Amino acid sequence: MSPASGPATSRSTIGAERSLPLGPLLGGCTVGLSISWNIANTGPVSPLLSAHYGVGLAVIGLLTAVMFFVELPMMVPGGRAIDRFGAKWVGLVAIGISLAGNLLLLAIADPYLALAARAFIGAGVGLGFLAGAIYAQSESVRGSVLASGIYGGASLSGGGLALVIVPQLVGAFGWRAPFVSAAVVAAVAVPLVMACPSTQGRVVGARPRFATLLADRRLIRLGAVSAVSFGFSVIIGNWVVTLLERHAGLSRGAAGAVGSLILLLGIVSRPAGGMLARARSATTWRAVAVSFLVGALGTALLSASVSVPLDVLGTALVGMAVGIPFGATVAGAARVYPNASGAAVGAMNSYPVLAIVAGTPLVGLTFSMPGDGRIGFAALAILWAGAVAVIPYRLRLE
């Protein structure tokens, strides 16, 4: 964004950089936290859900993947809805979808109906992720990268909290624990978002075509970075508890606490990545490359599962690595098409969604193979390290 001309501009711009409008930021973060609970709430109790529905763990992995199947085709249309009607109202619709879907799941015993309900929730997750991202940075001037990073940390905390809290609720609610918790979080979020300021949609004359968005090299570049960082964080977050239970000998609660580090540390690393991209944008590619290598090392440690301390270290390394690119990729996509920021972020986010759709059930399938899940985590580590080679030297996430 270019500052307006005039002597008062420098002061106002500096003030905008130093402070972020709290209303939209809080509203966006509330939307993000609420809907992201659904991303990681089933992983910690996968064996319980497997027994309840009478299916294997690969099918339970589809409870997460199916949400992203639905998200994928609606990324750009959902972004266009945000551009037209405003991020706050689309965010409220998303929270309502999450609430209704989780209430339905409390009464469902058939695995196919459960998949259908999760697909319905996926529509809310997709809309909510985009709406929260745009809402959080909607009133920022030069602080949009930082606002996006803060939003990323808050949205990721929903999944991290689910990893910690859901296992503790099993005693009271059994297999329903992930759905009860998600419904409560959504119900609490509605009045909080309602109290935040509204945002107006943008009616633009010449919107970029769907094909133009998907073919834009700038969005492809940002999407590829997000696919490895954000995409892998969701895949690993959904299976790390099961891996730790089976190989580290941890209880479900202890494994959930350790596994939650992946998402909880993102609360710090995502805003930190946003601050880094704003302060030293020309060298952001180096930070991304280092984060890829750190993430690969952490995933390799989890795959080896030599000891509990090393498992904790590996989980922490992954958590610190996954958040670095987030704020810059979201804000960068919005800046590519400033008059259609929702659609641009939706197009960019199609790439990590595709990675999650393909990767979550495949890693779940490796729990039925020799190594009991280690092969899947080893493959992620190799892919993560190899992705360093495709980061453009001139990458600037700004």
Name all contacts of 377-382 with Cβ < 8 Å and 24+ positions apart. Answer: 377/236, 377/239, 377/243, 377/299, 377/300, 377/302, 377/303, 378/299, 378/300, 378/303, 380/232, 380/235, 380/236, 380/299, 381/296, 381/297, 381/299, 381/300, 381/303, 382/296
Cα–Cα distance for residue pair 189/26, rounded to 1 Å: 11
pLDDT at 12: 38
Q: Is 65 helix (H, G, I), strand (E, B) or coil?
A: helix
Residue type, 365: L
Query: pLDDT tens per residue, the chain (398 residues)?
Result: 333 334 443 333 333 444 556 788 899 999 999 999 998 899 888 889 999 999 888 788 788 878 888 888 878 888 888 888 888 999 999 999 999 999 999 999 999 999 999 999 999 999 998 899 888 877 654 556 777 788 888 887 888 788 789 989 999 999 999 999 999 999 999 999 999 888 765 555 567 787 888 888 888 888 888 898 888 988 898 788 888 888 888 887 788 888 878 877 888 888 888 777 666 666 777 888 899 999 999 999 999 988 899 999 999 999 999 888 887 788 778 778 877 778 888 888 888 888 888 888 889 889 888 888 899 999 999 999 988 877 765 554 44
Residue 299: CB atoms within 10 Å: 30
CA 207 → CA 2, 85, 199, 311, 333, distances in Å? 22, 15, 19, 48, 15
- Looking at residue 140, what is its pLDDT? 58
The Cα–Cα gap between 390 and 165 comes to 37
How many secondary structure helices (H) and strands (E) does the chain include? 19, 0
Q: How many CB atoms lie within 10 A of CB 39?
A: 28
Q: Where are the domains of the chain?
A: 22-201+209-390
What does the alpha-carbon distance between residue 276 and residue 283 come to, in Å, rounded to a whole number? 9
Instruction: Report pTM.
Output: 0.74
Rounded-to-integer distance, Cα 114 and Cα 131, Å? 25
Measure the CA–CA gap between 373 and 17, rounded to whole angstroms. 45
pLDDT at 220: 87
Percent of the chain with pLDDT over 90: 32
| pLDDT at residue number 1 | 37
Q: Could you read off the pLDDT of 35-81 as tens digits, one per residue?
A: 999 988 998 888 899 999 998 887 887 888 788 888 888 788 888 88
**Single-letter residue type at 169:** L
The per-residue b/e assignment along 172-202, b for 16 or more CB within 10 angstroms, e otherwise, is eeebbbbbbbbbebbbebeebbeebeebebb
> The domain 22-201+209-390 belongs to what CATH superfamily?
MFS general substrate transporter like domains (1.20.1250.20)
